Amino acid sequence: MTEDGFSYKEKFIIRGFEVGINKIATIETIANLLQEVGSNHAQSVGFSTDGFGTSPTMRKLHLIWVTARMHIEVYKYPAWRDVIEIETWCQNEGRIGTRRDWILNDVATGEVFGRATSKWVMMNQDTRRMQKVSDDVKEEYLVFCPREPRLAFSEKNNKSLKRIAKLEDPVRYSKLGLKPRRADLDMNQHVNNVTYIGWVLESIPKEIIDTHELQAITLDYRRECQQYNVVDSLTGLELTEGSKMVSVGTNGSATATATTREDDHDCHRFLHLLRLSSDGREINRGRTEWRKKPTR
């Protein structure tokens, strides 16, 4: 815990199995570390003895936290054996949720290389239905929250606030028939939220993966995914017409690219949809933003 008791910091060294072929950390590594720090923060204040950040009242009532929205921005990815420090804190977010934010620092330089924010809602573990956060639960965790609102993204109209439009058929890129592995399940008995990031990236075109790196990702989690579900990952371009964002599928212009602004020709943006293969029900919708890979 930090000195004021309202946030938590932890250092990590980037290990060999957490980097890709370019020897820098993957976005899944970053997301897993965010989740780890959040869980450790909860444990440090006496929560989460048998779940992700569950308070005594939550455990008594069989309530758990589930991710509703996640937004991550990475300005510079850490490399193999870099030491990083992540600070996290939580606060109230509306009637049915809580908010957790993170700031990521390079220990050697003190540079902030990433920020993230998330919204979590409460679900009954037995009925799998969402439930309002009771005053009893709020009283248990608000004592560990900052007294004044503190946001990782304090800028007005920042990317974390943007609504994600639903990607409609037909789409330009897809990866069908994705199946959860047993290792993808977490202690809440459903597919872990980080797995969705990997599924989203499965349908990114190879020419983008080869030449660009992910600089921002936003995911809205809309339905649980269980072990035996089969998932389709769909991706389409997000283009700008004036100030309006437009998703483009296979029926779009043959000359369209993922470029969104004339002055931002190296930045590419995509919309994403994860859905059940069996009936097309929506699991997750997302947005990603990619920049040209730096010379290392």
Catalytic residue among 90, 145, 225, 284: 225
Cross-strand partners of 84: 12, 106
Contact (Cβ atoms closer than 8 angstroms) between residue 145 and residue 166 = no
**CA–CA separation, 104 and 87 (whole Å):** 7
Catalytic residue among 190, 212, 268, 272: 190
Backbone dihedral angles phi then psi of residue 174, each to the nearest 5 degrees: -155, 155
From the list 219, 249, 221, 224, the residue with the least C-alpha distance to 234 is 249
Cross-strand partners of 245: 240
Backbone dihedral angles phi then psi of residue 19, each to the nearest 5 degrees: -115, 160
Contact (Cβ atoms closer than 8 angstroms) between residue 115 and residue 161 = no
Does the active-site annotation cover 190? Answer: yes
Distances (CA, A) of 71 to 51, 80, 210, 222, 231: 22, 24, 23, 15, 22
Q: Counting beta carbons within 10 angstroms of the beta carbon of residue 265, is it exposed (0 to 12), middle (13 to 18) or buried (19 or more)? A: exposed
Does the active-site annotation cover 225? Answer: yes
The pair of structure tokens assigned to 14 is: 């980037």
The alpha carbons of the chain give a radius of gyration, in whole angstroms, of 19
Catalytic residue among 105, 188, 193, 229: 188
Contacts of 200-203 with C-beta under 8 Å, sequence gap 24+, read: 200/233, 200/235, 200/272, 200/274, 200/284, 200/286, 200/288, 201/27, 202/175, 202/178, 202/233, 203/173, 203/174, 203/175, 203/233, 203/234, 203/235, 203/272
Does the active-site annotation cover 32? Answer: no
Q: Which residues are catalytic?
A: 188, 190, 225
